[in-house]
Amino acid sequence: MSKSRISVIVWNEFQHERQNPAVAAIYPDGLHAAIASALKEVPAASQGALPLEISTATQDQPEHGLTEARLADCDVLIWWGHKAHAQVSDEIVARVQKRVLEGMGLIVLHSGHFSKIFRRLMGTNCSLKWREADEKERLWVVEPSHPIAAGLGEYFELPYEEMYGERFDIPQPDELVFLSWFEGGEVFRSGCCWQRGHGRVFYFRPGHEAYPTYYDRNVQQVLANAVQWAAPRVQIVDICPNAPALEPIAKKEVTFSKVGFVQGKGDI
């Protein structure tokens, strides 16, 4: 599949920023705007990176901003949700799942681990331990050769973050890129990759709304790299055809009809 650009939609439920003055002070235009701005400013460190065409969508828009037409043109969807998972339409979840299986990339951030779309694609509860205590988080790059880790050092640190701790109830990742350690002692699989159908899924842990995490250059680098990694290699619409034979099929003395009765010579 050859494209000259990657179409990205940054999706955000956009509720904390409107309801909590402290969050609004950090992200006055919404987390989605901060992430979109970072993607425009920070280039991917991976080789052969394509330019991005970036737009945003929020939960309060018609069809959550994810119409059939918009998703049809979307290469990578970035998802941030937290307090309003239950308010996301099942119809839209099914629509996004279909596009991932066809080849669209999905990047799920922080508390999106409990989103309907992530849990549906994982097939597990996606539960974990958590704590809000202004802790330092150290993210270790455990797969430095992975494209999502391009341009990063051996580790990077966030001075303030919400703790997520194991056990994280997810299927075994196809690839684990980051492992977090927290000041309180817990560890967590923070950068996980999967293939679902023809699409790629990346879960990235940092991003609590009460901290300026998405202004951190290392976090921005991860997101820029992840978009390039998650971009489609193919786009294959799911069909289940009755296929004609490519070669002649020899006549058999004994055949089985569609209803299960044996026809032909002799007994079997």
pLDDT at res. 86: 97
Residue whose structure tokens are 């996004």 = 96
**Number of structural domains in the chain:** 1
Q: How many residues does the chain have?
A: 268
Residue whose structure tokens are 């992840």 = 226
Tell me, yes or no, whether 55 lies in a domain.
yes
Q: How many helices (H) and strands (E) does the chain have?
A: 7, 11
34: pLDDT strictly greater than 70: yes
AA identity, residue 19: Q
| Token digits of residue 160 | 């303030």
Tell me, yes or no, whether 243 lies in a domain.
no
Read off the pLDDT of residues 135-189 as tens digits, 9 standing for 90 and up.
Answer: 999 999 999 999 999 999 999 999 999 999 999 999 999 999 999 999 999 999 9
Tell me, yes or no, whether 252 lies in a domain.
no
Read off the pLDDT of residues 115-144 as tens digits, 9 standing for 90 and up.
Answer: 999 999 999 999 999 999 999 999 999 999
Q: How far apart are CA 75 and CA 63, in angstroms?
A: 18
Tell me, yes or no, whether 112 lies in a domain.
yes
Read off the pLDDT of residues 55-114 as tens digits, 9 standing for 90 and up.
Answer: 999 999 999 999 999 999 999 999 999 999 999 999 999 999 999 999 999 999 999 999
Tell me, yes or no, whether 180 lies in a domain.
no
Whole-Å CA distances, 149 to 144, 188, 192, 223, 251: 6, 17, 12, 10, 57
Phi/psi of residue 203, each to 5°? Answer: -105, 130
Residue-range definition of the domain harbouring residue 49: 6-124+191-230
Closest CA to 202 of 189, 183, 215, 218: 189
Detail the DSSP E strand segments found in the chain.
6-12, 52-58, 76-80, 105-109, 129-141, 155-165, 175-182, 187-196, 199-204, 254-256, 262-264
CATH of the domain at 20: 3.40.50.880
Q: What is the pTM of this model?
A: 0.93
Tell me, yes or no, whether 211 lies in a domain.
yes
Tell me, yes or no, whether 25 lies in a domain.
yes
Tell me, yes or no, whether 172 lies in a domain.
no
